[in-house]
Structures are given as C-alpha cells and as structure tokens.
C-alpha cells in the first residue's frame, strides 16, 4: 500500500485546499492509500465497493481520530461518541425520528418556513444582494429547537448561533495546528479558554432546559397514550432506561442542535444559490410548484405533508446539490478488527478516511461531475448507478440518523420560498470556483450572495405555461 511520507499538502492549506490534495492522491495512488495528516497516519479509501465494506462492517463503527477536535463541540454525543456509548445513544435518539414524529414535526417546518417567507418579503423590496445564509440559519435553528421543544429567548438564540459558528472555527483551526493538539497546551491558550467559556454557556443553557422539562415531567406518565410527549421528553425518559448521565444527555442535545441546524442550513442555502445560478432549473422547480399549488400563495396554502411526495423534480435538485456539496465531506472510521480491503489487510486500530466529496465529484462515476444537472436523479437514470456512488448521509449502522428529518425540512423551506420569490445572482459562478472549507461540516470560504425578487404570480404563470 503506498505511503505518502509527507504531510506538506495537508498543512499548507487550512481552507479548502485539502479537496485538491485528495483528488490528486486519488488520481496518483490506488485505493487504499496510506498518508499523513499532520503527524497522524490515515488510510484513504476511494473506491465504492471498498467504501461499502467499511461502512457496513460491524467492526468499523468507531470514529476516526479526525473527529477528536469535534469532541470539543459534541462531547460524547452521537456524532463523536466511542462505539460503546454510541450504541446506547442511537437507541435513545432513534424514536425521535420515526414516521409519527416526522409528521408531528411537519407543522413546525411549515410554520417556520412561513415566518422566513414574511421576513424575506421586506428584504425583497430593497433589491440588494444579500448573504442569504444568515436568514436560513435563523429559521433552521428555530426549527431544530422547536422540534425538540427547547424554548429559547431571542437573545439566547442569537448567542447560540454565534457560539456554534465560533466553536466550528476553533475546532477547524486546532485540527491544522499540531502544537495545539495536546489538551494540556490548548487549554492554556486564549483560544482554549474562549472555547471553555462558550461550552459552559451552551451546557448551562441546555442543562437549565432539561431541568425544566424534568420538573414538568414529574406530573406526566410517559406510558399514557393520551400524552403527547415532546422529543426532549422522550430523550429524558429513554435516558433513564439507558442510564445516561445529565452530561451525556446534554452532549446529545448539543450534537442534534449543531449538526441538525448546520447541515440543513448549508444544504438549503446551496440549493437556493444553485437555483439563482441556474435560472432555467429554478423555473422548472417553480413549474412543479404550480402543478401542485396552482396560483395559491404559501400563506393561503402552506405546504402539507402529502405534498412532499409530489415534489419529484425538487427532490432531484436537492439530491444533485448534496452530490456536489455533501454536508459531511469526509467520513472517518477506526477499525476495531483487521479488515480485508482488496488485496490488503488493514490492521486493527487503523484510521480510515472516506472522502465522500471526491466520490461524488469523480468523473468515473458521474460524467461532467461539476455540471449541475438534477436530471441525473430521475428514476430511469439513477437506477444505472450503484448505490455507493452516492452517500450524502453515509451508510450502514452509523449513517445519519436524521436524514429524513433533514430532507423534509429542506423541501418545506424551498417549496415555500420558490413559490413566493425569484432568486437571482448578479453574475453566475462556475461550481469549480466555489471554494470550500472542509472539516466535519462543509462550508464556503466566501459568502454566496443573491438577490431576491417577489414573484408576480400572474406574469410568471403566463411565462412558464
């Protein structure tokens, strides 16, 4: 197995250059390939059949060392927990995302989308370019908190948004600075002290909410079918069965808030930018909305749960966005036992990295990979591609537990906004020119700006029909 005995490529570029390095490695060396990140040895796996073996193996459930600095955000939450904790956490959290709860959450999705719609009506009057991300972020964080029945005052909500952003910056920065890796050193730095202060604020706020729900639940019997428990109530109740500490409950709630709000925000924002960047595709999405809702506005006819099943082209657009911009661009696993990959035996303890973003942008599997083409996901075309060519939510036992929740929330927001607004850019941008930050959750280096224009339903219907 090739050994790249230098880490220069990974150290020279904190922001996004890692994608180019991964692509060059994959072109030059066969999978699996051994390489260094800083002083740590990792094994990269790029081939779909090999990826399938890793993700579906019961001996590849532990998370890689690349998540170590995400622990400062998530503690022992579902994303970063060692497998013995993850198994219990998964059992505790899974009921929150069942079909019954998704239907219950749908009202929150629709309500928050309408609030965002009203907010954007004022902004549309100015006809200025805006950084749309912050409006989506506020909406989605509201969705995440409301579906968990976490009540936050407006100022606390804003502080949470700032805290999440800053913690991600710190984790990313620390990952690329070898001298900050030891906790004993990092904790003595100004950045280490700042991180501790932010985490103390978040944990105290969540802990207070947990205690309030516990006090409330003293009068509630969870086995009473007439009681409509919130997802936070369900977490608290199941934590008694799994014997979780208060800290572990708090870590999982923070994990759900950050990963849920961040991934939905980023994908929704990128879809809207793609629609602005490719107006013909935007018109096709709008035509589909007209077929479903006619001339009715979102305020008079909000999105309903059953409508989602009819949004076939919008589904293709979201999937194509996730192909090019997977929210989690890299997956890391630590082998719990020896594993055979191709002609190689990877020893127990090996840290494996799966670059989803490379797989999704590989022309071997996706012709013209940087061309935005939602038609790739039409039923007759997607059948031709093996499932492991496309894994935006990972796969296997440790896949994304909230993928259905996320997809529904994204479509509700988009279906609401596309009916009310036209999204535009002053100048279209080639996808290859969109620079990315790659760590745990994908982001863009430079903010993507768009203009929004309120739709004239009558004129647009004549134009499309």
What average pLDDT does range 324-346 have in this prediction?
A: 92
Range among 215-224, 421-430, 455-464 rated most confident: 421-430
pLDDT tens readout for residues 271-310: 999 999 999 999 999 999 999 999 999 999 999 999 999 9
The yes-or-no verdict on residue 4 having pLDDT over 60 is: no
Map tokens 């999937």 to a residue: 319
Summary mean pLDDT of the chain? 85
- pLDDT of res. 221: 54
pLDDT tens readout for residues 243-252: 788 888 888 8
- Could you tell me which residues are annotated as the binding site? 400
Domains and CATH numbers, the chain: 1-60+329-370+386-391 (3.30.43.20), 68-326+395-454 (1.10.630.10)
The yes-or-no verdict on residue 463 having pLDDT over 60 is: no
Which of 22, 67, 78 is CA-nearest to residue 439? 67
Which of 363, 361, 341, 360 is CA-nearest to residue 350? 341
pLDDT tens readout for residues 101-150: 999 999 999 999 999 999 998 888 877 778 888 899 989 989 998 898 88
How many Cα atoms sit within 13 Å of 112 on the Cβ side?
24
The yes-or-no verdict on residue 66 having pLDDT over 80 is: no
- pLDDT of res. 56: 93
- Could you tell me which residues are annotated as the binding site for heme? 400
Q: Which two tokens stand for residue 102?
A: 């998704």
The residue that leads in pLDDT, 373 or 175, is 373
Q: What region does 63 belong to: left with phi over 0, alpha with psi -120 to 50, or beta?
A: beta
The residue that leads in pLDDT, 246 or 339, is 339
- pLDDT of res. 42: 85
pTM for this model (two decimals): 0.89
Q: Which two tokens stand for residue 413?
A: 């927001």
- pLDDT of res. 152: 72
d(CA 413, CA 17): 32
- pLDDT of res. 182: 85
The yes-or-no verdict on residue 200 having pLDDT over 60 is: yes
What average pLDDT does range 385-394 have in this prediction?
A: 86
């Amino acid at each position: 197995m090739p050994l790249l005995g230098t880490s220069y490529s990974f150290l020279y570029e904190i922001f996004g250059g890692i994608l180019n390095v991964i692509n060059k490695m994959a072109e030059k060396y066969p999978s699996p390939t051994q390489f260094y990140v800083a002083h740590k040895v990792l094994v990269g796996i790029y081939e779909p059949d090999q990826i399938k073996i890793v993700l579906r193996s019961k001996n590849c459930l532990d998370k890689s060392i690349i998540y170590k600095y995400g622990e400062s955000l998530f503690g022992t939450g579902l994303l970063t927990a060692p497998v013995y904790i993850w198994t219990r956490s998964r059992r505790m959290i899974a009921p929150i995302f069942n079909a019954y709860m998704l239907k219950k959450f749908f009202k929150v999705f629709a309500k928050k989308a309408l609030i965002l719609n009203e907010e954007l009506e004022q902004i549309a009057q100015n006809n200025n370019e805006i950084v749309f991300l912050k409006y989506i972020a506020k909406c989605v964080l509201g969705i995440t908190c409301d579906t968990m029945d976490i009540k936050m005052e407006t100022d606390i909500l804003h502080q949470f948004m700032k805290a999440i952003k800053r913690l991600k910056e710190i984790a990313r920065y620390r990952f690329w600075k070898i001298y900050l890796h030891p906790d004993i050193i990092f904790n003595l730095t100004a950045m280490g002290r700042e991180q501790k202060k932010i985490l103390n604020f978040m944990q105290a706020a969540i802990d207070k909410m947990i205690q309030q729900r516990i006090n409330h639940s003293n009068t509630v019997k969870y086995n009473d079918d007439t009681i409509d428990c919130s997802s936070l109530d369900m977490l608290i109740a199941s934590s008694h069965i799994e014997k979780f500490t208060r800290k572990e409950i708090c870590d999982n709630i923070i994990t759900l808030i950050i990963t849920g709000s961040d991934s939905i925000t980023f994908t929704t924002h990128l879809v809207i930018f793609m629609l602005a960047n490719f107006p013909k595709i935007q018109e096709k999405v709008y035509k589909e909305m007209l077929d479903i809702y006619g001339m009715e506005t979102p305020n008079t006819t909000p999105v309903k749960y059953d409508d989602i099943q009819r949004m076939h082209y919008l589904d293709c657009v979201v999937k194509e966005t996730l192909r090019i911009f997977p929210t989690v661009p890299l997956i890391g696993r630590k082998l719990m036992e020896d594993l055979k990959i191709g002609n190689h035996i990877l020893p127990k303890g090996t840290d494996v990295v799966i670059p989803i973003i490379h797989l999704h942008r590989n022309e071997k599997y996706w012709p013209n990979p940087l061309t935005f083409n939602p038609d790739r996901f039409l039923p007759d075309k997607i059948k031709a591609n093996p499932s492991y060519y496309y894994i935006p939510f990972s796969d296997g036992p440790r896949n994304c537990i909230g993928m259905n929740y996320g997809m529904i929330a994204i479509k509700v927001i988009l279906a609401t906004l596309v009916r009310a607004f036209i999204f535009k850019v002053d100048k279209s941008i080639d996808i290859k020119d969109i620079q990315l930050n790659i760590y745990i959750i994908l982001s863009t280096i430079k903010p993507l700006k768009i203009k929004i224009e309120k739709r004239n339903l009558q004129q647009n219907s004549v134009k499309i029909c």
